[in-house]
Amino acid sequence: MSSPLTFQPVLDRIAAEIEQTPGRGRPADYIPALAACDPRSFGMAVAELDGTVYGVGDWRQPFSTQSITKVFTLALDLAHEADELWEHVGREPSGNPFNSLVQLEYENGIPRNPFINAGALVVTDRLHTQTGDAAGTLLDFLRAESGNEHLAINEDVAASESAHGDRNAALGHFMASYGNIGNPVPALLDAYFRQCSVEASCADLALATGFLARHGIRADGSRLLTMSQAKEVNAVMLTCGTYDAAGEFAYRVGLPGKSGVGGGIIAVVPGRCTVCVWSPGLDGHGNSVAGVAALDRFTTITGLSVF
């Protein structure tokens, strides 16, 4: 597509196409708050490097960010401790579901990557140690980058996550038995469940992801990550951001992306823009059905992919 590219007609066209598409998948049902979401909801936003935002549909509607936050905790922890983190978590795709335990025993309690739950728990644990409050640090960062002071943790969702959190608790205790968790596991789980329960809109998240499109530079012009660290985070998003469907996501969308079971997906076009899409109906891998379809259309229509 010739430059300058105006994103609004692209988004309008995608929303109209998605509207006609039957089959949206099913909202996550492991906690009641997510099960109650309307699978017909759909929003999409694009943020340019200078913070100009375009949107369509429910793009200003806050939703449960869930595993999308794993990108931000990873970036924040890398900003604090740099390569030390990679001693404790790998960066290979797992080929297993996001909440899987199976590989941990073979790899001595070191998770395959920071985006499966085991790896995200390690990252949150380390950020909690670095800052004293991983969820609060995350929330401050998201507020600053989005310019939205109202972003908040939904404490009801956090309590519900905790009430249904046996699998994450098992992951935490198992890794602690290998010495790969520094905080008491209950404190870590509390931080992790609160992290997952941050609510934000497509507009908020597209803006908050901007530092990855700006090669590590925050909205205020300061540097969060080195250029090479920003590349690393984008690379791990591409290979691991949509779990055991990361190959299919790269094939269809061709961008670094990160999904959450709330139905959101963020994606980065390095040097150009960020995209956030939300629709709560999920496929069997925990990725938004309409979200992946919309991103597929976005890169097809605009030609903006890393390939």
Which chain residues interact with ligand GLN by CB under 6 A?
A: 66-67, 98-99, 117, 161, 168, 196, 260-261, 286
**CB nearer ligand GLN, residue 229 or residue 288:** 288
117 known ligand binder: yes
**CB nearer ligand GLN, residue 161 or residue 204:** 161
154 known ligand binder: no
248 known ligand binder: no
Cβ contact 116:100 at 8 Å: yes
At its nearest, how many Å lie between ligand GLN and the CB of residue 71? 12
**CB nearer ligand GLN, residue 134 or residue 196:** 196
183 known ligand binder: no
Q: Which residue is nearest to ligand GLN (CB)?
A: 67
Distances (CA, A) of 216 to 6, 192, 219, 230, 232: 24, 24, 10, 5, 11
At its nearest, how many Å lie between ligand GLN and the CB of residue 102? 16
Q: How is residue 265 annotated by DSSP?
A: E
Distances (CA, A) of 3 to 45, 212, 304: 19, 22, 12
At its nearest, how many Å lie between ligand GLN and the CB of residue 211? 21
**Host H or E run for residue 249:** helix 246-252
- How far, in Å, CA of 194 to CA of 147, rounded? 21
**CB nearer ligand GLN, residue 172 or residue 216:** 172
Burial 129-153 (b: 16+ CB within 10 A, else e): bbbeebbebbbebbbebbebeebeb
Cβ contact 265:283 at 8 Å: no
**CB nearer ligand GLN, residue 98 or residue 278:** 98
Token pair belonging to 129: 């140690």
- How far, in Å, CA of 45 to CA of 274, rounded? 8
148 known ligand binder: no
Task: Give strand ranges (E) for 180-248.
Answer: 198-200
155 known ligand binder: no
253 known ligand binder: no
- Of the candidates 67, 201, 259, 288, the residue annotated as catalytic is 67
Beginning with the edge strand found earlier in the chain, give each strand of the sheet holding 53-57 in spatial order: 53-57, 43-48, 273-278, 264-269, 257-259
At its nearest, how many Å lie between ligand GLN and the CB of residue 160? 10
Verify whether residue 192 is a known catalytic residue: yes
- Of the candidates 89, 197, 198, 243, the residue annotated as catalytic is 243
Residue 52 CB-density burial (10 A; 0-12 exposed, 13-18 middle, 19+ buried): exposed
- Of the candidates 41, 46, 64, 70, the residue annotated as catalytic is 70
At its nearest, how many Å lie between ligand GLN and the CB of residue 8? 29
Verify whether residue 67 is a known catalytic residue: yes
- Of the candidates 46, 185, 261, 269, the residue annotated as catalytic is 261
Verify whether residue 258 is a known catalytic residue: no
Residues of each annotated binding site for substrate: 67, 117, 161, 168, 192, 243, 261
List the catalytic residues: 67, 70, 192, 243, 261
